Structure 1
Amino acid sequence: MIKPSEKHDAPRSTGGSAVSRKLVPYGGYYTNKVPDHDPELTEVGAGTPMGEYLRRFWHPVCMAMELTDTPRFLKILGEELVCFRDGSGRVGLLHAHCVHRGASLEYGKIEEHGISCCYHGMVFDVDGTCLRVPFPQGEEEEGERYRCSIRQGAYKAFERNGLIFAYMGPPDAEPPFPEWEGNFTVADGDELVPYSNFQHCNWLQVQDNAADNYHTMALHAKRQVTGENYQGTTFDEVGAATMEVPPDMQFFPVHGGRSLACAGARRADGEHMHIRVQHQVLPNLSLHAYTSEDGKRKKLFSRFHMIRWTVPVDDYNAKMIGWRVMGPGIDTRGIGDKSMVGYETIDFLEGQVAMRRPERFGDYKLEDMPPIPSDHRARANYKDCQYAPGDYEAIVSQRPIAVHALENPTRFDAGLYMFRKLLRDAVRGTNPKAGPEEFAQWLRDCAGAPNSYCSGNVFELPEAETVEEEVRNRRRLAKEVVAILTASDQLKGAERAEFVKLKFEELEQSFKK
């Protein structure tokens, strides 16, 4: 097993003369050496520490709309696969290369049951069983013996709300599918709308971005756009000015170190404090509160707005794939646009995706989509991206695999470093609770429906008379919000929501005494 040194747990530490060289004016010569990336957390192939850990969880691998009358070629965790829906409606996810002679099943024919290889016509069921070998007449017995001697590599897969999920680990260790809070807390009238965005870089820096709740105040602010080349939905967080306020961040490992609650406190105005709690769950799930909150009205225990997995394609590419929750229950300002959510599209933060061209919106067929550029500098709209960069540019430009040893973090970066440590402890076995076996058992104990810390909250809290008191108030408020969510963890559904809201009301009143 790869055992990189502890230097990867934190940015490079330089002392003595190294520090003085680092601070020399025009001293690029002293800092031009690029160390290796951190293989333990970034490499995902079969047999790697992180690759084996990731394979013990369910992941979305594509959108259901990608399954047409021909097989869909995919690469997930470095493995070449084909996904299809056969004539009986079952979803198959097989190794791409036929076990007979290696021809790719992406050119196969989808059958009523399974898929046939284009090269010699062998048919494989969704579980990898060989159903038919076309031996010549009179040699059927030999053909049957051969049929029983081979099996195509296959993974269990199913559809849920427009996404195809797969489990790629040992079949006898399959965990429950995590139904967070039973229905992902979708309110009446709301729905889970699927989307998938390709990212041309390592999976971990995409996941890091989700734990970096501070960057919105710069990257998504109009003031960061060169020459006021403003791009509508990409900046100002679709009109939510609170997101441009630097948040006071606090981070709390929860669920026995299986996840991280990231609580950010922002002053919305002189009468309201916005507390947004993001929830990062091992190994690659992030649950996001309302992204368009303006903080002008009291709101307690608002739930999921975005549910997203960061799925490695290989060591150098990844997918952001999940659901946007759409509807009046979560989107109280009516900002969302369902028509702009889907394959390589999103209705906010346009810079999250590689393509920004307007023709991608509206009615389209998958085969009509323009190709995703492989080089972020080779795009036709590269200049526009320089004027107004988004998440995609910030993430991808960190190098194909970000080099952690070159980072120099501040206090507000603590969340992503905590999450990396949770990952490392899980992979190494230094936190058994986060290991695959105990994680799966925890899901069973939760009946497959654990509670999330994700919530958006606006408290009626007047601004303090002094800066020192204001800082104390916002930090106490955020900390106690997370404590109340922890105290509610044994409750479910409406009972939990009622408990949390009551305690939040009491917390708000405690500041007014």
Structure 2
Amino acid sequence: MTIKSEQMEKGSSAGGAVVKKLIPYGGYYTNKVPGHDVELTETGPATPMGEYMRRFWHPICMSMELTDTPRFLKILSEELVAFRDGSGRVGVLHAHCVHRGASLEYGAIQERGIQCCYHGMVFDVDGTCLHAPFPKGEEAEAEKYACSIRQGAYKAVERNGLVFAYMGPPDEEPPFPEWEGNFTVLPTDELVPYSNFQHCNWLQVQDNAADNYHTAALHAGKNVVDGHYQGTTFDEVGAASMEVPPDMQFIPVQQGRSLACAGARRADKDHLFVRVQHQVLPNLSLHAYTSEDGLSKKLFSRFHMIRWTVPVDDENSKMIGWRVMGPGIDTRGVGNKELVGYETIDFLEGQVAMRRPERFGKYKLEDMPPIPPNHRERAHYKDAQYAPGDYEAIISQRPIAVHSLEHPTKFDAGLYLFRKMLRDAVRGTNPAAGPAEFAQWLRDVGATPNSYCSGNVFEIPEGATVEEEVAQRRRISKAVVAILTESDRLKGEERAAFVRAKMEELEKSARK
């Protein structure tokens, strides 16, 4: 027995914390589950993270969810109702009528605003009471009453099939961030909206986006039980290159407001695939092409998936955003627009709770079968056990993951660094990431900040030795992020041309 294991068996402490006993069949010593990280995981009103998040715009639902009846939503632990009135305006109001508390989800949508079912109060999209149904002859009193109340309301905007809301103080509203002028999409491509419910805390869903290593295990065909494929693996719908464990470099950028996650993989001995994902505070992630085989040169390929992880409450969340569809980004033609939408996504079965045949056909929102809160009650639970996807891995970490029970490795560095960046932003230890400074930065860049997200395939031969290859992968990854940082002063095609020219130089220098 080593000295270290002797100390652990005796329950010695390290860094002030009691070390659990590492002995065979020692479950008794590890059966106590401590509390979750309140500061980062809880997002209700008056919580540190909740107050920080409320200073940003968040997608709350898809435009297709706004039908001829109001849409009940829960966002950041607040009960809301979203609707589109007869004039086409989108309203996002507190669900419970300010008069007597009946839910506006049962209200009637008006040409202007929404009418409560209980007593007929009518509220505009900004919360103004437009009508109080007093008896005839009491119009003056009705007007006085209407002026004395106001329904809680949040400003909303629509972009490419998604509804966004700002839920913070009105006088602190930031610019709506039109990343790169509403994202970089080639003329052949389009932003296709989707919304996927997740039965767990928002942060473990966001953690997964910064966990660039898990694809090598979770999505590898060799790990599927007895060939029970469910579309979860890159063997089927993606690229084998994604099953190669990446060499990761995690670099805070944009003054600590975001994180560049650069992963270098070998597609073959002549092609080095460097994929950069971009994590932006507090809950935005931008992903490069997920089905890249890495066998053809490609420099500065852009967005393939854009998503926000939006808290519903502390034990539920949404992945909501856009898939970029079309031949410009999907060079292998493996995407399927028909499978992108409400509670469905074409990017690997197992990303969402639904594993049912009906998700592959046309359906209306009201026809969607309910998803049991207990994932073990789902109809395709056994299929999920055979070939689990991100959904199973993420929600099985408990409704709220307990960080103090984790034992991270070096390849977990990205999500731990992003957690630190969140904490610094919430506590004010990185002023640049504070809400006011973040909003000012958006104003300074015209509300069109640049993203580091990119997919790059270099024609660079494999190093002569393992040591040379490792050093080369790391050097190239860091150089790619440095080029993207240097390009941050430019916009649009000028920036793209600059980046590609610099990457050509980088490739040539590596081939010498």
TM-score (norm. length: structure 1): 0.96
SS in 2 for 1:377: helix
Supply the AA of the counterpart residue of 2:179.
W
Matched, 1:502 2:512: no
Alpha-carbon shift at residue 19 of structure 1 (Å): 7.7
Alignment check: 8 A CA contact 2:60 2:163 kept: yes
Distance 2:21 2:318 in 1: 36
State the alpha-carbon separation in 1 of the partners of residues 465 and 132 from structure 2. 80
The residue identity in structure 1 corresponding to 2:112 is: H
Structure 2 match to 1:363: 362
Aligned residue number for residue 9 of structure 2: none
Distance 2:22 2:125 in 1: 59
For residues 422 and 136 of structure 1, what CA distance do their matches in structure 2 show? 57
1: distance between equivalents of 2:76 and 2:302? 31
1:409 aligns to 2:380 (yes or no): no
Is 1:441 aligned with 2:433?
A: no
* Counterpart in the other structure of 1:9: none
Q: 1:52-131, aligned counterparts within 5 Å?
A: 52-131=51-130
Work out whether 1:316 is the aligned partner of 2:310: no
The superposition leaves residues 93-120 of structure 1 with CA deviations (integer Å, 9 ceiling, x where unpaired) of 0000000000000000000000000000
Aligned-pair distance for 1:463? 1.1
Matched residue, 1:213: 212
How many pairs were matched up? 501
The structural deviation recorded for 1:17 is 12
Structure 1 residues 436-445 or 350-359, which shifts more? 350-359
Distance 2:298 2:233 in 1: 25
Give the superposition deviation at 1:230.
1.1
CA distance in 2, matches of 1:81, 1:58: 16
Map 1:287-302 to 2 at 5 A. Answer: 287-302=286-301
* Distance (whole Å) between structure 2 residues aligned to residue 325 and residue 258 of structure 1: 24
Cα distance, 1:18–1:162 mapped onto 2, change above 3 Å:
closer
Q: Deviations over 1:408-450 (max 9, x none)?
A: 0110100000000000000000000000000000000010000
Letter in 1 for 2:117: C
Write the mapping of 1:337-352 to structure 2, written as runs, cut at 5 A. Answer: 337-352=336-351
> Any residues of structure 2 matched to 1:262-281 within 5 Å, and which?
262-281=261-280
In structure 1, how many angstroms separate the alpha carbons of the residues matched to 2:38 and 2:62? 29
Counterparts of 1:11-30 in structure 2, within 5 Å, are 15=14, 21-30=20-29
Describe the SS at the equivalent of 2:307.
strand
Matched with 1:139 is 138
Structure 1 residue identity aligned to 2:358: E
- Mapped to 2, the partners of 1:128 and 1:212 lie a distance apart of 41
Kindly provide the amino acid, as one letter, of the partner of residue 259 in structure 2: L
Closer, same or farther in 2 for the Cα pair 1:185/1:65, shift >3 Å? same
- The whole-number CA distance in structure 2 between the counterparts of 1:160 and 1:375 is 33
Instruction: Please report how far the alpha carbon of residue 144 of structure 1 lies from its aligned counterpart in structure 2 after TM superposition.
Output: 0.9
Change (3 A) 1:373 1:453: same
Conservation of the 8 A alpha-carbon contact between 1:220 and 1:237 = no
Contact kept? 2:225, 2:386, Cα under 8 Å: yes
Q: Distance in 1 between matches of 2:44 and 2:297?
A: 47
Distance 1:288 1:417 in 2: 19
| Conserved 8 A contact 2:193-2:341 | yes
8 Å Cα contact 2:127-2:151 kept in structure 1: yes
Amino acid at match of 2:27: G
Q: Which residue identity lines up with residue 105 of structure 1 in the other structure? A: L
- How far apart are residue 226 of structure 1 and its match? 1.1
* Preserved CA contact (<8 Å) 1:234 1:351: no
1:6 paired residue number: none
The alpha-carbon deviation at position 174 of structure 1 amounts to: 0.6
Cα deviation code 1:340-382 (max 9, x no counterpart):
0000000022111001101022211100000122111111111
CA distance in 2, matches of 1:464, 1:22: 43
- Looking at structure 2, the residues matched to 14 and 312 of structure 1 have their Cα atoms a distance apart, in angstroms, of 36
1:237 touches 1:292 (CA, 8 Å); kept in 2?
no
Deviation at 1:237, TM superposition (A): 6.4
More displaced 10-residue stretch of structure 1: 17-26 or 206-215: 17-26
Please name the residue that 1:222 is paired with.
221
Amino acid at match of 1:286: S
Report the Cα offset of residue 339 of structure 1: 0.3
Which residue of the partner structure matches residue 511 of structure 1?
510
Q: Is the 8 A contact 1:98 1:152 kept in 2?
A: yes
1:237-282: per-residue Cα shift (whole Å, max 9, x none)?
6130000000001100000000000000000001000000000000
1:227 is displaced (CA, Å) by 1.2
Whole-angstrom CA distance in 1 between matches of 2:314 and 2:63: 24
- Residue pair 2:221, 2:233 contacting (<8 A) in 1 also: no
Q: Distance between the aligned counterparts of 1:47 and 1:343, measured in 2? A: 31
User: Does 2:235 align with 1:236?
Assistant: yes
Q: Is the 8 A contact 2:371 2:378 kept in 1?
A: no
TM-score after normalising by structure 2: 0.96
> AA paired with 1:116?
Q
| Deviations 1:187-238 (CA, angstroms, capped at 9, x unpaired) | 1110000000000000000000000000000001111111111123544361
Q: Distance in 1 between matches of 2:416 and 2:475?
A: 22
**Corresponding position: 1:253 with 2:252:** yes
Shift of 1:22: 2.9
Where does residue 3 of structure 2 map in the other structure?
Answer: none
Gaps of 5+ in 1: 1-12
Which residues of structure 2 form unaligned runs of 5+? 1-11
Q: RMSD value over aligned CA atoms? A: 1.3
* TM superposition outliers: structure 1 runs of 4+ over 4 Å: 16-21
* Alignment check: 8 A CA contact 1:237 1:243 kept: no
CA contact (8 A) 1:354 1:373 kept: no
- Using the alignment, how far apart are the partners of 1:217 and 1:300 within structure 2? 23
> After alignment, is 317-326 or 26-35 more displaced?
26-35
> Equivalent residue for 1:284?
283
Q: Distance in 2 between matches of 1:97 and 1:51?
A: 21
Say whether residues 1:463 and 2:462 are aligned partners.
yes
CA–CA distance in structure 1, aligned partners of residues 13 and 490 of structure 2: 48
Deviation at 1:20? Answer: 7.2
Q: Is the 8 A contact 1:237 1:291 kept in 2?
A: no
The amino acid across from 1:274 in the alignment is F
CA distance in 2, matches of 1:114, 1:40: 37
C-alpha contact 2:232 2:350 (8 A) present in aligned 1: no
Contact 2:234 2:242 survives alignment (8 Å): no
Deviation digits for residues 440-494 of structure 1 (CA, Å, limit 9, x no counterpart) = 0000001000001000000001111110100011010001000110011001111
Deviation at 1:183, TM superposition (A): 2.7
**Deviation at residue 158 of structure 1 after TM alignment:** 1.6
Q: Distance in 2 between matches of 1:201 and 1:16?
A: 31
Q: Secondary structure at the match of 1:511?
A: helix
Counterpart of 2:195? Answer: 196
